[in-house]
Amino acid sequence: MDGVDLRRCDPSPKQRSEIVNAVASALARGVAAPVVADHARRKATEAETCKYLVRAFSAEHLAVNVPAVPAFASECGLCDARPGDPIGMRQTTDAAGRSVKCLRCHPHAGGA
């Protein structure tokens, strides 16, 4: 939820947790992290209540308002993976020189 401005709905700590859980649920259902991040930024600018923002990540709402994406988005082209490579190849190198999951296209990187 980094980079999402929640000032408009001004959530309490409990409501922030509900929002984060709703986002995590969307990711667990297979919605690509970049799609969820874009959706979160867009909905946060509209949200007058936290309840609205939590509902924005329900399965029903995402199915209607977010374009369908495959369970695993295609390779981003900026990591080590090439078309057809297994998901595990979607890695890049962090600042410390370690191999990490690509935040752009690895489905378990949690880049939202």
Q: Clarify whether residues 87 and 43 are in a common domain.
A: no
Is residue 6 one of the residues assigned to a domain?
Answer: no
- Answer yes or no: do 57 and 34 share one domain: yes
Within a domain: 5: no
Name the pLDDT band for 23 (thresholds 50, 70, 90). confident
* 7 found inside a domain: no
Given a cut of 50, whether residue 112 has pLDDT beyond it is no
- Looking at the structure of the chain, the number of domains it has is 2
In this structure, the answer to whether residues 28 and 61 fall within a common structural domain is yes
**What is the arithmetic mean of pLDDT over 8-13?**
78
- Does a structural domain hold residue 39? yes
* pLDDT reading at 1 higher than 70: no
Q: What is the pLDDT of residues 59-110, one digit of tens each?
A: 666 655 555 445 556 778 788 888 777 777 888 888 888 888 888 888 777 6
**pTM of the predicted model, to two decimals?**
0.47
Give 33-52 pLDDT, tens digit per residue. Answer: 787 778 777 777 777 777 77
Residue with the bigger pLDDT between 89 and 4: it is: 89
Between 111 and 84, where is the model more confident? 84
* CB contact burial 19-52 (16+ within 10 A = b; e otherwise): beebbeebbeeebbbbbbbebbeebbeebeebee
Please indicate, yes or no, whether residues 52 and 79 belong to a single structural domain of this protein. Answer: no
Classify residue 24: in a domain, yes or no: yes
Full domain range(s) for residue 20: 13-65
DSSP string, 10-73: ---HHHHHHHHHHHHHHHHTT--HHHHHHHHHHHHHH-SSHHHHHHTTSHHHHHHHS----SSP
80 in a structural domain: yes
